[in-house]
Amino acid sequence: MLGRLSITFLFLLITGLCSFMAHAKKPPPQPLTIAIGLENYDFNPLFTEFTRATGIKVKVVEFENNSLKSELLLRASNNALPDGIIVPADYMGLTALNLSEVPDDWLSTYLIDQVRTNIKANGTTLGVPIVFGNHLMLYYNRALVSEPAQSWQQLREQQQKLALKINWNYYEMYWYRAFLGTFGTSLILKGNVHLDTPAMVNALRWYKSLKEEAWLDVECDYECTVNQFLAGEVAYTINGSWMFQRFSKHFSDKLGVAQLPRLRGEPMRSYFSSHVMAFPDNALSGSKRAELKTLSEFLQSLPVQTNLWSSINALPVDRRALEMLKIQGIVQVEALISTLEHAQPMPNEAQMAFIWEAMLKGLTRHLAGVLDEHQAAHFMQHIVEKSISYEQEKKPGQ
pLDDT digits (tens, 9 = 90+) for 121-174: 888 999 999 999 889 999 999 999 999 999 999 999 999 999 999 999 999 999
pLDDT band (50, 70, 90) for residue 6: low
Q: Of 131, 95, 135, nearest to 353 (Cα)?
A: 95
CA distance 380 to 247: 35
More confident residue, 117 or 150: 150
8 Å CB contact between 138 and 236: yes
Give the amino acid at 265: G
266 DSSP 8-state letter: B
178 pLDDT tier (thresholds 50, 70, 90)? very high
- 288-320 per-position pLDDT tens digit: 999 999 999 999 999 999 999 888 888 999 999
Assess whether pLDDT exceeds 80 at residue 7: no
Which pLDDT band, with edges at 50, 70 and 90, does 5 fall under?
very low
Domains in the chain: ranges and CATH: 32-132+272-335 (3.40.190.10), 136-166+220-264 (3.40.190.10), 171-215+350-398 (no CATH)
Task: List, as one string, the DSSP characters of 143-186.
Answer: TT-SS--SBHHHHHHHHHHH---EE--TT-HHHHHHHHGGG---
| Whole-number Å distance between alpha carbons of 49 and 58 | 10
pLDDT at position 398 is 45
Q: What is the mean pLDDT of residues 224-250?
A: 94
Is residue 380 over pLDDT 50? yes
Q: How confident is the model at residue 2 (pLDDT cuts 50, 70, 90)?
A: very low
pLDDT at 379 over 90: yes
The whole model's pTM is what? 0.79
**Per-residue pLDDT, 20:** 47
pLDDT average, residue stretch 238-251: 92
Q: Which residue has the higher pLDDT, 281 or 191?
A: 281
Q: For 332-345, write each residue's pLDDT tens digit.
A: 788 888 999 899 98
CA–CA distance, 299 with 141 (Å, rounded to integer): 33
Q: What is the mean pLDDT of the chain?
A: 89
Q: What is the DSSP letter of 367?
A: H
259-281 pLDDT per residue, tens: 999 999 999 999 998 899 999 99
The maximal CA–CA distance of the chain, rounded, in angstroms, is 105
Q: Specify whether the CB–CB gap between 276 and 87 falls below 8 A.
A: yes
A 10 A CB-CB count for 232 gives 12
